[in-house]
């Protein structure tokens, strides 16, 4: 009789002894850049030191530019990294609150460049991913640095980087009203810029193909707007043929690069069309007496977001990429335009004009959770970074001496900054990530 | 043998569960404040869609046993976002507890095991 009795007590008390752990819920945190350390990459030879330093600085510049990382200064270091294979004293880095440690080495042999790096998760006492090596020519050092930064960013944030990418835009020189507008291409940070057209005619709205090899744009060289495709590597151009007496503009590639969606004006009415690039056949997607323009595909190619004034004011609509009925998604006060679907597929960026101010904003694809990220005299024309994290756009200042410049902002609304370019600029389009 | 084992368990269990009162609201708030001061948030990231619950055990000095840290429950985001959310939560727990969380020693049995819910979606 004793045994069952004891067993009952045991079960009862054991249940009590193993009562649920204390439970607390945290909903707030701190929004601060992540502290990391990046000792100068080791130059494996005397000839490698200069390139090693340049690569280290560019990697740090890329990471700092995101607003998400804060470098812990060398003066705080307890440990030094003398060689690429140096053992990491995690406690030394933890003591100075370093969360991630980046080490690297560089070897220049003639014109060849080899860069190795390792990333450590200090608080887990372990390497974050495997060490990686990139090989290139010495002239390719900037691209290699961007690739290292992309890997570091990706391993720490869990999201693809965007540093090894380019931007095509309209470079603007001269006074307002008589500006020379040329297509130009540059690295995402403004380096390596070059012109693709000569400025003898106006160009607008360049858009990268999904592979980054071609660019669509609208040109006024014949007097009326027509759409062209230019090969980035050769600057070879072809015109998208359309019916005579029509104007075509606002083009954008489909995600598979096989079609172009665009606006076509005929007889005073503007609708959205799609052209198959393999056989040049085109089809009408909208049929309304209003102005339908600025189409942009969803990443899976199944839907198109566009702007229309069919309700009396400019608003955003989503329809099937086959055309048909469209659903209005913008609902706030003001006018909405230039919608662009995020590469992540979860948001749409747009330009909004309200109460005399222009804004760049984002909303969910159903129109919910609208957030305005910027406000100024004139902000317009958003383009997404390839990872859907940053938006670049045009900002124009007021007055006779007003100039156009490119700006970028994090999708959270933080880290608004001017992009360094040699001329004025407008209409940016961000490329996919380099291969 | 079974009776003896059961008896021993009863002996060792009784004191654990009769001594401590629950933590007061202030004591719980202090612990929350300590952890959230080290929880780095990134509002634009996909990890902001991840809600996770982490288990940890502490010694009597309030220091976290790093090997005890494990995910109890996780939802939202993709696999990469969940990995990042876990790493950020783990760093918050370890870094802010490196000198031991300030908890009432006489209530150790109440806080020797803790589950922390990190909920950026709220």
- Residues on chain B touching A124 (C-beta within 8 angstroms): 87, 90
Order of strands, edge to edge, in the sheet holding A424-430? A194-195, A180-187, A166-173, A424-430
Shortest Cα distance, chain B CAs vs residue A65, angstroms? 15
Tell me which of B11, B13, B85 to substitute to probe the interface with A (most A C-beta atoms closer than 10 Å): B13
**Complex-level ipTM beyond the 0.90 threshold:** no
Q: In this structure, are residues A308 and A315 in contact, taking their beta carbons and an 8 Å threshold?
A: yes
| Residues 6+ positions from A223 with CB-CB distance below 8 Å | none
Residues of chain A with Cβ-Cβ distance to B47 below 8 Å are 157-158
Residue A299 DSSP symbol: T
CATH classification code of A166-430? 2.120.10.30
pLDDT tens, chain A, 435 aa long: 444 444 443 443 444 444 689 999 999 999 999 999 999 999 999 999 999 999 999 999 999 999 999 999 999 999 999 899 989 999 999 999 999 999 999 999 999 999 999 999 999 999 999 999 999 999 999 999 999 999 999 999 999 999 999 999 999 998 877 889 999 999 999 999 999 999 999 999 999 999 999 999 999 998 889 999 999 999 999 999 877 778 899 999 999 999 999 999 988 899 999 999 999 999 999 999 999 999 999 999 999 999 999 999 999 999 999 999 999 999 989 999 999 999 999 999 999 999 999 999 999 999 999 999 999 999 999 999 999 999 999 999 998 888 999 999 999 999 999 999 988 999 999 999 876
Distance from CA of A55 to the nearest CA of B (A): 26
For tokens 């100039």, name the residue.
A403
Q: Select the residue of A9, A32, A158 nearest B10 (Cβ to Cβ).
A: A9
- Nearest residue on chain A to B23, alpha-carbon basis: A22
* Ranges of H-type helices in A136-288: 141-157
Question: Would you state the pLDDT for residue A19?
Answer: 66
Region of residue B100 (left: phi > 0; alpha: psi -120 to 50; beta: else): left
CA nearest A17: which of B113, B24, B101?
A: B113
Is pLDDT at B12 greater than 90 in this prediction?
no
Given this model, what pLDDT does residue A174 score? 86
State the nearest Cα–Cα gap between A58 and chain B, in angstroms. 23
> Are B40 and A32 in contact (CB < 8 Å)?
yes
Q: Which CATH class is domain A34-157?
A: alpha beta
Q: What confidence category does residue B15 fall into, taking pLDDT thresholds of 50, 70 and 90?
A: very low
| pTM score, whole prediction | 0.89
A157:B84 CB<8 A: yes
Band the pLDDT of B71: cuts 50, 70, 90: very high
Mean predicted lDDT score pLDDT of chain B = 86
Of B14, B37, B116, the CB nearest to A13: B14
Domains of chain B: 38-122 (3.30.1150)
Start-to-end CA distance of chain A, whole Å, equals 77
What does each C-alpha distance from B27 to A18, B33, B97, B99, B107 come to in angstroms? 22, 10, 15, 17, 11
CA distance B107 to chain A (A): 11
- Would you list the domain boundaries of chain A? 34-157, 166-430
Q: Which residue of B has its CA nearest to A6?
A: B6
Cβ–Cβ gap B110/A410 under 8 Å: no
Cα A303 to its chain centre, rounded Å, is 21
Cβ–Cβ gap B40/A156 under 8 Å: no
Least Cα separation, residue B68 to chain A (angstroms) = 13
């Amino acid at each position: 009789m004793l045994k069952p009795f004891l067993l009952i007590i045991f079960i009862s008390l054991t249940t009590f002894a193993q009562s649920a752990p204390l439970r607390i819920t945290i909903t707030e945190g701190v929004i601060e850049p992540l502290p990391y350390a990046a000792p100068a990459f080791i130059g494996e030879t005397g000839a490698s030191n200069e390139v090693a330093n340049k690569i280290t600085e560019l990697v740090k510049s890329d990471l700092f530019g995101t607003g998400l990382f804060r470098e812990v200064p060398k003066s705080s270091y307890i440990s030094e990294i003398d060689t690429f294979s140096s053992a990491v004293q995690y406690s030394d880095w933890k003591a100075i609150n370093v969360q991630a440690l980046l080490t690297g080495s560089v070897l220049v042999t003639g014109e060849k460049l080899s860069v190795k790096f390792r990333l450590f998760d200090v608080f887990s006492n372990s390497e974050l991913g495997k060490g990686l090596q990139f090989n290139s020519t010495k002239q390719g050092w900037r691209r290699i640095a961007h690739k290292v930064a992309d890997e570091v960013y990706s391993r720490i944030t869990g999201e693809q980087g965007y540093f090894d990418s380019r931007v095509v835009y309209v470079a603007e020189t001269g006074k307002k009203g008589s500006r020379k507008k040329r297509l130009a291409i540059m690295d995402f940070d403004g380096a390596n810029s070059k012109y693709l057209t000569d400025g003898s005619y106006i160009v607008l709205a360049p858009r990268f193909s999904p592979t980054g090899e071609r660019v669509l744009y609208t040109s006024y060289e014949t007097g009326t707007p027509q759409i062209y495709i230019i090969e980035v590597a050769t600057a070879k151009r072809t015109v998208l043929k359309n019916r005579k007496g029509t104007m075509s503009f606002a083009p954008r590639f489909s995600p598979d690069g096989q079609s172009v969606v665009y606006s076509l004006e005929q007889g005073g009415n503007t609708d959205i069309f799609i052209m198959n690039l393999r056989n040049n056949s085109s089809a009408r997607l909208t049929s309304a007496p209003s102005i339908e323009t600025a189409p942009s595909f969803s990443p899976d190619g199944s839907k198109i977001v566009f702007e229309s004034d069919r309700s009396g004011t400019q608003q955003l609509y989503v329809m099937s990429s086959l055309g048909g009925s469209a659903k209005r998604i913008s609902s706030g006060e003001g006018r909405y335009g230039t919608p662009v679907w995020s590469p992540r597929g979860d948001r749409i960026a747009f330009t909004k004009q309200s109460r005399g101010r222009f804004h760049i904003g984002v909303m969910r694809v159903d129109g919910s959770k609208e957030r305005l990220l910027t406000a100024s005299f004139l902000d317009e024309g958003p383009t997404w970074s390839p990872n859907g994290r940053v938006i670049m756009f045009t900002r124009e200042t007021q007055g006779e001496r007003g100039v156009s410049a490119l700006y970028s902002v994090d999708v959270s609304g933080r880290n608004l900054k001017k992009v360094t370019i040699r001329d004025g600029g407008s209409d940016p389009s961000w490329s996919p990530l380099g291969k | 043998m079974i009776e003896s084992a059961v008896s021993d368990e009863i002996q060792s269990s009784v004191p654990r569960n009769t001594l401590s009162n629950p933590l007061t609201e202030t004591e719980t708030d202090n612990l929350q404040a300590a952890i959230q001061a080290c929880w780095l948030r990134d509002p634009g990231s996909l990890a902001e869609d991840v809600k996770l619950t982490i288990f940890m055990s502490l010694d009597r000095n309030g220091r976290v046993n790093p090997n005890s840290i494990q995910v109890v429950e996780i939802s939202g985001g993709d696999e990469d976002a969940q990995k990042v959310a876990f790493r950020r939560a783990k760093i918050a727990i370890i870094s802010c507890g490196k000198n031991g969380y300030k908890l009432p020693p006489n209530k150790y049995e109440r806080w020797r095991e803790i589950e922390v819910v990190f909920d950026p979606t709220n």
